[in-house]
Amino acid sequence: MAETMNEPRTLSLSLLPRPGATGHLLALALIGPFVSPLLGIWGASANVGSVIWRFGAFGLLMGGQFYLFAALAASGLAAAYLGQRRVLMGLSVVASILALLFAIGLPAFVLDFLQLKRTMSVTAFGPFKTAGIKVAGMAVLGIPILALIALFLRGAGKALEPQRRPRGSPLASAAGK
């Protein structure tokens, strides 16, 4: 009895979560901080026609883009680990669309910035100027990063062999044998 108490306990690997599933769950968790400010701006104060609202909304998007990059990377690593070619290609399409939307949003943001500059006094515009330069800089850096993420995910998806599965359910193919 005393001998069994001193033996080290071992942990079965089957009890540990799969790294791929953990990566996908991590990606979902990282999307939360990106989406939560966006949900806040769609409340009662959602005035899409307002220049200040559009200025702030694009700023929040650019401020949370790190979470988006990390979520795409974690999900891409998990999909590559699991050999999920379609998921990698889908993530590549999502990253490409986001890069395109951010690239379209940047000129609109600059136009809103210039419109705000005309309507505000010099002293009141100071914080908006600082925020505008910061957000524009983050967009200029973030758009190529998203495009590179899209290219890398697509390349990883193409490097994987397509999965060849027989058509039909496993029960139907087993019954035919």
**Residue 17's pLDDT is what?**
60
pLDDT at 19 > cutoff 70: no
Mean pLDDT, residues 69-79: 89
Give 85-104 pLDDT, tens digit per residue.
898 999 999 999 999 999 99
What proportions of the chain, in percent to the nearest 5, are helix, strand and coil? 80, 0, 20
Ranked by mean pLDDT, which of 16-20, 82-86, 91-95 comes out on top?
A: 91-95
* pTM, full prediction: 0.73
pLDDT at 3 > cutoff 90: no
Domain ranges in the chain are 20-40+55-161
CB 146 within 8 A of CB 76: no
Give 137-172 pLDDT, tens digit per residue.
999 999 999 999 999 999 999 998 876 655 555 555
Residue-by-residue DSSP string for 36-60: HHHHHHTSTT--TT-HHHHHHHHHH
CB 53 within 8 A of CB 30: no
Residue 14 pLDDT class (50, 70, 90 cuts): low
Place of tokens 């990282």: 30
Long-range contacts of 160-167 (CB under 8 A, 24+ apart): 160/80, 160/83, 160/84, 160/85, 160/88, 161/85, 162/85, 163/83, 163/85
pLDDT at 38 > cutoff 90: no
Residue-by-residue DSSP string for 4-42: HHHSPP---GGGSPPHHHHHHHHHHHHHHHHHHHHHHHT
**Residue 160's pLDDT is what?**
84
**Residue 110's pLDDT is what?**
93
